[in-house]
Structure 1
């Protein structure tokens, strides 16, 4: 049961996996860019002044940037967890595919073996009939029966 390339559930699963991978990579790039940008802004806002004067606006900016960095880092951690789950489940999916493929191969081999055994049985029955006919019609059989 071979399926053509580009058709069936395998192609759909591959397309879905490629789309999911693209989405995950976009999330990674967005989160990393957010962390880098917010860290740069945090460093700029946290410049050292002499004397150290901080107003409430600078303090708020620092807190906001730090919060955004934490959110982006949390998003990356969730992404890692999702990738782990995907790897586990795709591993099971490929294992199931392999088991199904092997089952199909063994079923085909069993059918082939059954056909071969049936053919051998038919040939043996035909040969046995031929041998019986030859034996019962042979002169050798009649001479052995008359000597007894």
Structure 2
């Protein structure tokens, strides 16, 4: 249904976000490693230091994004578990309500049969010669 479609779309979006974050993490870490070499010219070293700071910042950002994604996945798993649990409880309540209605009908029929039997016994008792 609509819930399954929404869940599938959400899953695709989460997978795309994960791929993008992991790709960014790997690319920036690789660039960080490639830049991290010592050269003689001071200008080049300051440029590389700036690039290293920028790449390190992007690595941290990608890792933070992945951690938030993990939290979101945990929350989604918990809430989807609660939703299915709630659906099971609702179904069980419906079944129990139907059983209660059936039991009420049976009890009402038994009560009517008992009342009829008591009237017949009273009629028989009062009509006897005793």
- TM-score calculated relative to the size of structure 2: 0.82
Across the two proteins, how many residue pairs are aligned to each other? 129
Higher helix share: 2
CA distance in 1 between partners of 2:101 and 2:84 (Å)? 26
CA distance in 2 between partners of 1:133 and 1:93 (Å)? 60
RCO comparison, higher one (Cα < 8 Å, 6+) = 2
Alignment RMSD (CA, Å): 2.2
| 1:111 alignment partner, SS class | helix
**4+ residue segments displaced more than 4 Å:** 51-54
**Where does structure 2 lack aligned partners over 5 or more consecutive residues?**
none
**Where does structure 1 lack aligned partners over 5 or more consecutive residues?**
1-10
Partner of 1:92: 82
- TM-score calculated relative to the size of structure 1: 0.73
Counterpart selection for 1:77 from 67, 81, 91: 67
- Per-residue displacement from partner, 1:52-82 (whole Å, max 9, x unpaired)? 8661332232222211111100101111121
Partner of 2:10: 20
